[in-house]
Amino acid sequence: MMKFLMMMIFMIPMCFIHNMFWMVQMMLFLMMFFYMNLTINLSMFCNLSYMYSSDMLSYGLILLSIWICILMIMASENLFKTNFYVNFFLFNIIFLLIMLILTFSVMNMFMFYLFFEGSLIPTLMLIVGWGYQPERIVAGVYLLFYTLFVSLPLLMGIFYVFNLMDSMMIYFLKFMDMNSYLLYFSMIMAFLVKMPMYFVHLWLPKAHVEAPVSGSMILAGIMLKLGGYGLLRLMIFLQKINLKLNYISIVISLLGGFYISLKCFCQVDIKSLIAYSSVAHMSLVINGIMIMNYWGFFGSYIMMIGHGLCSSGMFCLANILYERLHSRSLYINKGMMNFMPSMSLWWFLLMSSNMAAPPSLNLMGEISLINSMISWSWISMIMLMLIFFFLSGMYIMFMFFYSTWKKFIQVFMDIMKGVSREYLMLTLHWLPLNILILKVDYSMILI
């Protein structure tokens, strides 16, 4: 793992050399293929180096992080054309990627906390530095304080565990079984806010709406997954207490997911709509993790990977329209089929993946999550039916038909042309999302 860290550190000077924008992206591609060829032992930690290692859980999320960062650079060509602090932008992405890879691969719980919170800084810089409206400052404050408010209890919980165990290694935590209410809530709240769970989700739509396209992509693609990864790791030693208290977060997530799905119909901002759909998807992931059975863990992991690719692609599409019309309103972005038929096809492909149509990873994840929920309580099927009807069907169709088939505004006929870079970017989102289902058995073996 250290060799990838060193490679990224040595890429930092490249960010400040003139006209190296695409070269940085090519180097990340190279690193991606090096990392893909690592031999992963499916059943245990491997690639050990000092305090880093990877198992299947961290392997998939690190791959997703590198992939999304590559596509962030590809989506931000506008910054390159206008030369808007482009060197610092590249440095920010590399720094963020270093933080994310360290978060997913570190084995020490305190170091995990350090990098988990450290990834907040470059994300905040992306939103405040390259955002669109003046409200981005408010969005940055929301993001910062929601996360920091619950991070101190997590730090205290980690020190308490160290005091008991004399070790902070995540691998050794499986020998420990905690039964403390206070420790349970102090440890999981930081991850539930990061996911985010309903009631603590208000920072997410604000951050998405004000962020540039790269900020939205990393928020939807990776930052929400940090919470799920933390929960999957910490459930090892919180099993007993979680079995007593998991109904609280499950009930809140089920009701919240249904309410957020309804709230999507009220949105006129495309980015806001996609952001609220992310909250609804993450509520299902929280359910899968909290139930703590095989199907739930597997489904939440697959759903995190699938949602990261799909949601990031949809934010790219929203940005493609924004770059041409300078508006994200559904009232203006309509009738695309008339002047951008190819882009309408990509809207259809990514939206169908978002509503879990085969052969996307989302379908596999949702099937597993339904299995786990019904095994926990058959009554949850009522809420699941409502969530999947509204979440997977109705509002996606509402957005697709509104943006594609409505009567368009004649003035925009000339300016709506897709370029090859955009089609390549969307292809690189959609292909892994639908090809990876062929190798989903690896993830099943793991968990």
pLDDT in tens, 391-421: 667 778 888 888 777 666 655 555 567 788 9
Report the greatest alpha carbon distance in the chain.
69
Report the 10 Å Cβ neighbour count for 271: 22
Name the β-bridge partners of 54.
Answer: 46
Which pLDDT tens digits describe the chain residue by residue (447 residues)? 788 899 999 999 999 998 889 999 999 999 999 998 887 776 677 877 778 888 888 999 999 999 999 999 999 988 988 888 999 999 999 999 999 999 999 989 999 999 999 999 999 999 999 988 888 999 999 999 999 899 999 999 999 999 988 888 888 887 777 788 899 999 999 999 999 999 999 999 999 999 999 999 999 999 999 999 999 998 888 888 998 999 999 999 999 999 998 888 888 899 999 999 899 999 999 999 999 988 999 999 999 999 999 999 999 999 988 888 888 888 888 777 777 788 889 989 999 998 888 889 999 999 999 999 999 988 888 888 888 877 667 778 888 888 777 666 655 555 567 788 999 999 999 999 999 888 887 766 655
Question: What is the per-residue pLDDT across 38-58, written as a single tens digit (0 to 9) for each?
Answer: 877 766 778 777 788 888 889
Residues 308-327: tens digit of each pLDDT: 999 999 999 999 888 888 88
Burial class (CB in 10 A: 0-12, 13-18, 19+), 439: exposed
CA distance 400 to 264: 13
Distance from C-alpha of 45 to C-alpha of 66, rounded to nearest angstrom: 20
The pTM is what? 0.94
The pLDDT value recorded for residue 231 is 93
Integer Rg of the chain from CA: 21
